[in-house]
Amino acid sequence: MHFTASLADILKRAVIISGTCCTSNDSIEDYLIVKSADYVGKESFPVQNWPVFEGNFKVLVLLAPGANFLVLEHHYGSSDCRSIQVELNYVPLLQVPPLHLAIMIAKDSPLLIDCPPNKRGAISSAHSDLDAAVKKFRMTAYMWQALTAEDLRSKHLGRRSFRLEEEWAEETLSREFLQNATKTRMYSTAKIHLIRSEKTVAEIRDAQVAQQNEQGQRRDDLHKYFEEALKKHGGPFVASAHPIVAGLILDSTFSAEQNLILGHAALGCSNTQGLSLGVFGSHLTYSWPRFLEEVASCLLDHKIPGDTVGNDNNECGTMWEACSIGQGAFLHEVGHAFGAPHTTGIMERGYAQDWPKAFLGGTAYCSAKNTQGITVVHGKTPNNSTWDLSDALSFSVQPHFWHPMDLPLNTENMKIEPSALVIVEDGQEDVLKLVISSPAQICQVKFNGTPEPGLSITNTVRELQFTMNELEARFDRTDALTLDVLGKNGKSRKIGNVWRLFSNVSFIRIPGSSVVLQKKSIISPKQEAKENTEHGKWDWSVLLNEKGKDGKCKNSFLYCTKLTLPSGKSNRN
């Protein structure tokens, strides 16, 4: 077998191991068994089975603190078996702030969630009561953690992710803990806060607060309800603790009569000085796995959910797609809580069809795209269920993603966006240079969408310079030249047309002197990123007064240029 997991210290409990193994002619019996034990050979987590797709596999492993000895057995054919041992040392970082998990419950809630009949919803509460919601939320959070750690590792940022707030409680992440009385049931596991709201079920399910109701007058209110409930609950949710919370709204439901999902909002807000919260409804929770044993089956389940549950965004035609939308869109809102804007990947709904690729070596039929499943998922398979590089960089400098080997951060540098200025060469006023810089280091520069060679996460620079002659030799002056700059702190800068920087230089030279004044632009980022920024500019002027020896004004110089006023408002979600 061949593996891509690093054999080193792991700083979060959930980890994805991927690799390849020999293929067999009898694919029905092609599967992987994962056994976990501590340093004395005692089982640390129940045995798991994972599918193998034409010799490719991915497995999600939950670790215990300390040494974890994993045995991966590949069973193929009728009796053939090969195995390999992997040693991972899990070191919990209890000194870093956690992501909190909370479920908001109406004060008169029936404590049930939507569940289609073919998920045993008509005869059992196994997938529809509060206990099921807690299990599914806990399992989902560890899937988020593992996906994020693996994605940031692939981006050369280390296997880093947020840790989850945990407590010593009855473990629910394996069905063996519930079915086998001989299994140790108490573990340090993700804590789910149950938050009672002052709102009734009727108030939460009011169509006016349903986010997907285009006629709704108060579509942000569910986020406010959750904030109010958390603040009243207190504890770790006080503003002074600066908590980041993933919030599940229990009393969401699909109204067939109104053809509307009620009690649901997909909203996230970051508040570095207080409570940051990403919320999502429970209307798709029925499709999530309760246990590690259900992860693969839930992400390959192509059964139709039916008419009793909502088809969110018309992308939930099968069970696995409902699972992908529910888990992925919720993580999207958690991304907002961590400060990520709408970029690409997960923050652009990239999870809709690609979510299973993070956890499995193959996928199932997709009803939304009417495409057959992918028989093999490997490192080169297109996968949009990842974090945008700028988001990953932004996460990597936040305390929730801290690693012990990280160098101390300059707080001010972490907030500064890259700059792009046109300056004059010393002593050569006719030589103009484009200077791109960032005190946090630059890891990516793109002209017209093409990255400059040599720059990467592991090879950064503080400053780059390009003369006008160099750029004119490479690019057509008659076409707009876009510039994208990404700092290692995750901050970015986009210029819609670099040639305009040269035509409207960023300095003013005082006549008869060597004094050069650098101009600061207050143009809005959205305007600056556009090719044509002339619209909306106002003329402005600066009056410079020269003082005489007596301290009184002697001469005045008037300089004119243009000002573009910021426009537009930022959306919370």
Active-site positions read: 333
- What are the phi and psi torsion angles at 33 (to 5°)? -110, 130
CA–CA distance, 108 with 491 (Å, rounded to integer): 45
CA–CA distance, 174 with 114 (Å, rounded to integer): 23
Helix and strand counts by DSSP (H, E) for the chain? 11, 27
Are 506 and 422 within 8 A, CB to CB? yes
Are 166 and 145 within 8 A, CB to CB? no
In the chain, what are the helix, strand and coil shares in percent, each to the nearest 5?
A: 25, 30, 45
Output DSSP code: residue 200: -
Q: Is 491 helix (H, G, I), strand (E, B) or coil?
A: coil
Residues 6 or more apart whose CB falls under 8 angstroms from that of 232 comprise 198
Query: What's the first-to-final CA gap in the chain, in angstroms?
Result: 44
Q: How far is CA 162 from the centre of its chain?
A: 11
Distances from the Cα of 469 to the Cα of 284, 430, 437, 477, 500, angstroms: 57, 11, 20, 11, 15
Strands (E), 77-224: 80-90, 99-105, 166-170, 186-190, 192-196
The partner residues of 484 in beta bridges, in order of sequence, read 446, 494
